[in-house]
Chain A
Amino acid sequence: MYRYDEFDAAFVAERVEQFSDQVRRRIAGELTEDQFRPLRLMNGLYLQLHAYMLRVAIPYGTLSARQMRMLAHVARTYDRGYGHFTTRQNIQFNWPKLRDVPEILADLASVEMHAIQTSGNCVRNVTVDQFAGAAADEIIDPRPVAEIIRQWSSLHPEFLHLPRKFKIAMTGAPNDRAAVKFHDIGLMAQANRSGEVGWAVYVGGGLGRTPMVGKLINGFVPHEHLLAYLESILRVYNRYGRRDNKFKARIKILVHEEGLENIKGQVEEEFAHIRGGILTLPEEELDRIGAYFAPPEFEDKGVVRIDVEREKILDPAYGRFLSNNTFPHAQPGYTAITVSLKPIGGVPGDATAEQMEAVADLAQTYGFGEIRVTHEQNLVLPHVALADLRAVYDGLAAAGLAEANAGEVTDMIACPGLDYCALANARSIPIAQDISRRFAQPERAGEIGKLKIKISGCINACGHHHAGHIGILGVEKKGTELYQITVGGDGTENAAIGRILGPGFVADEVPDAIERLVDAYIVRRESADEPFIDAYRRLGDGPFKEALYGNG
Chain B
Amino acid sequence: MKILTGNELLSGAAVYLDAGGRWGGEVQRARVFGAEDGDALEAAMGESVASGRIISIEPETIELRDGAIYPLRIRERIRAEGPSAPRLNRQTLAEDDHVSI
Contact = CB atoms under 8 A, between A and B. Distances in A.
B10 A418 contact: no
A433 interface: yes
B52 A49 contact: no
Interface residues of B, number: 24
A476 interface: yes
Contact of B12 (A29, A47, A80, A427): A47
A444 interface: no
B64 interface: no
B14 A347 contact: no
B85 A429 contact: yes
Contact of A419 (B9, B11, B78, B91): B78
A49 B79 contact: yes
Contacts of B56: 47
Nearest to B79: A49
A29 to B, nearest CB: 5
Contacts, number: 71
B85 A419 contact: yes
Nearest to A96: B12
A493 interface: no
Contact of B72 (A50, A99, A430, A479): A479
A482 to B, nearest CB: 11
A178 B14 CA distance: 36
Given A29-B52, A50-B79, A50-B83, A418 B74 contact: yes
Given A29-B52, A32-B52, A47-B56, A418 B91 contact: no
A46 to B, nearest CB: 9
Interface in A302-342: none
Nearest to A94: B83
A479 B73 contact: yes
B82 interface: yes
Contact of B84 (A29, A98, A419): A419
Interface string A13-51: 000000000000011010011000000000000011111
A50 B91 contact: yes
Interface in B40-83: 52, 55-56, 72-75, 78-79, 82-83
Contacts of A347: 85-86
B35 interface: no
Contacts of A271: none
A95 to B, nearest CB: 6
Contact of B91 (A95, A425, A433, A481): A95
A441 to B, nearest CB: 21
A199 interface: no
A49 B72 CA distance: 16
B74 A481 contact: yes
Nearest to A95: B91
A49 B10 contact: no
11 contacts: A32-B52, A33-B9, A49-B79, A50-B82, A51-B12, A52-B12, A95-B91, A98-B9, A98-B10, A418-B74, A419-B83
Interface of A: 26-27, 29, 32-33, 47-52, 80, 95, 97-99, 347, 418-420, 424-427, 429-430, 433, 476, 479-481
